[in-house]
Amino acid sequence: MRSRRPKVLHAVAGKPLIDYPLDLCREIGVEKPIVILNPHQAEVAAHVAERCEVVYQREQMGTGHALQQVPEERLRGRRVLVLYGDMPLLQADTISRVVAAQEGYAAGMLATTGHPDYGRILRTPDGTLDRIVEARDVTPEQREIDEVNAGPCCFDGDAVLRALDTLTADNAAGELYLTGVFGALETVQIVTADPDEAIGVNDRVQLAQAEALMQHRLRERLMQAGVTFTAPETCLVDAAVEIGQDTLIEPFTILRGETRIGEDCVIGPHADIGDSAIGDGCTVQHSWLRGCKLGAGSDCGPFSKLRPSTEVAERVHVGSFAELVRTQVGSDSAVPHFSYLGDAVIGSRVNIAAGTITANYDGEKKNPTVIEDDVFVGVDTMLRAPVRLGRGSRTGAGSVVTKDVPPGATAVGVPARVIKRKAAE
Write b or e for each residue in 341-366: b if 16 or more Cβ atoms lie within 10 A of its Cβ, otherwise e: bbbbbbbbebbbbbbbbbbbeeeeee
| Distances in whole angstroms, Cα of residue 350 to Cα of each of 328, 380, 398 | 12, 15, 18
Comparing C-alpha atoms, which of 77, 79, 72, 114 is closest to residue 96? 79
Rg, Å, the chain Cα set: 30
Q: Taking a C-beta distance cutoff of 8 angstroms, is the pair 197, 84 a contact? A: no
Catalytic residue flag (residue 337) = yes
Q: Taking a C-beta distance cutoff of 8 angstroms, is the pair 80, 125 a contact? A: no
| Distances in whole angstroms, Cα of residue 271 to Cα of each of 4, 106, 237, 256, 304 | 31, 51, 12, 11, 10
Q: Could you give the CA distance from residue 80 to residue 83 in angstroms, rounded to a whole number? A: 10
Please give the helix or strand (H or E) that residue 159 lies within, else none.
Answer: helix 157-164
> Could you tell me how many helices (H) and strands (E) the chain has, helices first?
8, 39
Q: Taking a C-beta distance cutoff of 8 angstroms, is the pair 313, 295 a contact? A: yes
Helices (H), 34-148: 42-48, 63-68, 72-75, 92-102, 140-143
| Backbone φ and ψ of 57, nearest 5° | -100, 100
19-27 and 92-102 are packed helices; what angle lies between their axes, rounded to 10 degrees?
A: 60
The amino acid present at 331, given as its one-letter code, is: S
Catalytic residue among 10, 47, 317, 337: 337
The catalytic residues are 337
